[in-house]
């Protein structure tokens, strides 16, 4: 068993804890997050951009294949809404935990003007007041609020 971390923050690495459907693979995985029900959301650059598992690694669902094109960052808010940052499409998208698209920030496939959202965004966070912060790190080198 491989252990990582130190002191009170030591964790065991569990290889292959998940069960993918036959013939599926993750591709590049830039982000992963968990919701309040301990579902694990694996956001990848593959045919199946969002793959959801339960805490035991059992496949629950897959969604986003018609919308999500270039995974980069993920954030799950206190209402279990999933926020996905897409670098190459210059967008942030908000979904229900079942994959229903609620909102798109940015214009898909259109790079924002210099200093304006978004030019290759990378990640997102929300604060306690609900303000959205997006790192627009590759093209704009800034944080949008």
- CATH for 83: 2.120.10.30
Task: Locate 106 and state its tokens.
Answer: 């940015």
pLDDT at 53: 98
Question: Which residue range is the domain that position 134 belongs to?
Answer: 17-144
* Residue 7 forms part of a structural domain: no
Whole-angstrom CA distances from 69 to 13, 37, 90, 91, 102 are 29, 26, 10, 10, 17
Q: With 90 as the cut, is the pLDDT of residue 90 above it?
A: yes
Domain contains 100 = yes
Q: What is the pLDDT of residues 61-78, one digit of tens each?
A: 999 999 999 999 999 999
Report pLDDT for 14: 87
Once rounded to an integer, what is the mean pLDDT over residues 29-39?
97
CA distance 59 to 51: 8
Query: Percent of the chain, pLDDT > 90?
Result: 86
Nearest to 52 by CA among 92, 110, 108, 99: 99
Q: Reply yes or no on whether the pLDDT at 1 is more than 80.
A: no
Q: Is 71 exposed, middle or buried (0-12, 13-18, 19+ CB in 10 A)?
A: buried
Asked if the model's pLDDT at residue 137 lies above 90, the reply is no
In this structure, is residue 10 part of a structural domain? no
Mean pLDDT of 2-11: 91
Residue 30 maps to a domain: yes
* 86 within domain boundaries: yes
Establish whether the linkage from the previous residue to 118 is cis, with ω within 30° of 0: yes
Using pLDDT thresholds of 50, 70 and 90, give the confidence band for residue 114.
confident
What is the number of domains present in the chain?
1
Entry pTM: 0.91
User: Is the model's pLDDT at 34 over the cut of 90?
Assistant: yes
Q: Is 8 among the domain residues? A: no
Asked, for residue 12, whether it belongs to a domain, the answer is no
% of the chain beyond a pLDDT of 70: 100
> Residue 129: is its pLDDT beyond 80?
yes
Q: What is the mean pLDDT of the chain?
A: 94
Whether residue 56 lies inside any domain: the answer is yes
What's the whole-number mean pLDDT along residues 105-115? 91
């Amino acid at each position: 068993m491989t252990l990582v971390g130190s002191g009170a923050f030591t964790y065991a690495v569990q290889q292959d804890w998940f069960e993918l459907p036959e013939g599926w693979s993750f591709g590049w995985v830039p982000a992963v997050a968990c919701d309040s029900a301990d579902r694990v959301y694996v956001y990848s650059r593959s045919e199946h951009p969002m793959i959801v598992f339960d805490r035991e690694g059992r496949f629950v669902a897959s969604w986003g294949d018609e919308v999500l094109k270039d995974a980069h960052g993920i954030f799950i808010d206190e209402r279990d809404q999933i926020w996905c940052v897409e670098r190459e499409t210059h967008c942030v998208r908000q979904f229900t935990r079942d994959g229903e698209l609620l909102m798109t920030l940015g214009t898909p496939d259109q790079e924002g003007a210099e200093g304006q959202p978004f030019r290759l965004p990378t990640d997102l966070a929300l604060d306690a007041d609900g303000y959205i912060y997006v790192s627009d790190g590759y093209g704009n080198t800034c944080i949008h609020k």
